[in-house]
Amino acid sequence: MTNAIDTAEADRALKTKHRAMWAQGDYPSVAADLIPGLGEILVEACGVRPGDRVLDVAAGTGNAAIPAALAGADVVAADLTPELLETGRRLAGERGARLRWQEADAEALPFDAAAFDTVLSCVGVMFAPHHRTAADELLRVCRPGGTLGVLSWTPDGFIGRMLARMKPYAPPPPPGAQPPPLWGDPEHVRTLLGDRVTDVTAERRTVVVDRFATPEAFRDYFKQRYGPTISVYESIAGDPERIASLDADLAELAGRHDQGTGAGNLVLEWEYLLFTARRAD
């Protein structure tokens, strides 16, 4: 009994930490500035139609939920961080989208089994620490024959490599937590879902990001706005040498992946996995 209580308390503490991490900085601007089209790509890949019951898990500010609502679906956007949901409500209002926003943990979704025709997540559920638990929840709330769609950064893509660069500077992850970019490995996702899905498609694609003038500008943008990066810097705040080392690592990573000609802005290609399937009957 004591072990179960300790585990539950540790999980609550971890979720509190995650909630705070995504609330700091300015993730809404990251989503809007750098990846505004990814949600629409996922919604289109899932074949969302008017009247469909759609759940966007780890929805953030609605990068996928809002396009789904504009396509005529009956949408619920669920996220662990209420600050992101509040921004999403405002953005939805500006675009004339009507949907429901609900605070929810991707690993313990407060919805009935088989409640949705489509369950999707755009670079969201990948950050839930316990992948099997999150995958089980995605399938549980999706009706038999319904669609599951997940868009995730790949381990070998730019964001996957950035997260790997930051890992040595961060505190050790709690027991059982898995690296987010594993959701970008199709074999990992197939293992999580197993024979509970059919009609699987897994396609690697890239999004081009060219808003940064220099590698240092990229680094500083993420230091100021992206919750995971901010958290890592906070963990080494008392160590100037490690801060300088991480500064150099992130700038070097951006410079090495520049696909441009060397004149003007950086041109970065961020690889992601677009995974869709149907829940087996």
Q: What is the largest CA-CA distance in the chain?
A: 62
* Tokens representing residue 131 in the block: 């992948």
Distance separating alpha carbons of residues 140 and 135, to the nearest angstrom: 9
pLDDT at 6 over 80: no
Distance CA 107, CA 124 (A): 12
Q: Share the mean pLDDT of the chain.
A: 95
The C-alpha angle 148, 151, 154, rounded to 5 degrees, equals 130
The confidence score (pLDDT) of residue 9 equals 78
CB proximity list for 266: less than 8 A, separation 6 or greater:
209, 210, 212, 213, 214, 215, 217, 218, 254, 255, 258, 260
pLDDT score, position 11? 79
How many other CB atoms are found less than 10 A from the CB of residue 50?
8
pLDDT, position 12 = 83
Answer yes or no: are the C-beta atoms of 58 and 149 closer than 8 Å: no
Structure confidence at residue 232 (pLDDT): 98
pLDDT in tens, 107-138: 999 999 999 999 999 999 999 999 999 999 99
Residue-level length of the chain: 281
Pick from 128, 146, 195: nearest CA to 46 = 146
* Strand 197-209 versus strand 268-279 pairing type: antiparallel
Local structure of residue 171 (DSSP, 8 states): P
* pTM listed for this prediction: 0.95
Query: What DSSP element (H or E) covers 119?
Result: strand 116-122
* Residue of 89, 177, 96 whose CA lies nearest to 132: 177
Is residue 222's pLDDT more than 70?
yes
DSSP 8-state assignment for residue 116: E
Burial of 200 by CB count in 10 Å (0-12 exposed, 13-18 middle, 19+ buried)?
middle
Tokens of 193: 């879902």
Q: What is the pLDDT of residues 36-61, one digit of tens each?
A: 999 999 999 999 999 999 999 999 99
Angle of helix 186-193 relative to helix 131-140, nearest 10 degrees, comes to 60
pLDDT above 80: residue 263: no
Nearby residues of 32 by Cβ (< 8 Å), 6 or more positions away: 61
Do residues 231 and 170 make contact, with C-beta atoms less than 8 angstroms apart?
yes
pLDDT of residue 13: 87
The domains located in the chain, with CATH, are: 2-210+268-279 (3.40.50.150)
In angstroms, the CA 249 to CA 233 distance is 13
For the chain, helix (H) and strand (E) counts, in that order, are 11, 7
Q: How confident is the model over 156-165, as a mean pLDDT?
A: 98
Q: For the stretch 10-19, what's the b/e string if a residue is b when 16 or more beta carbons lie within 10 angstroms of its beta carbon? A: ebeebbeebb
Bridge-partner residues for 152, per DSSP? Answer: 273
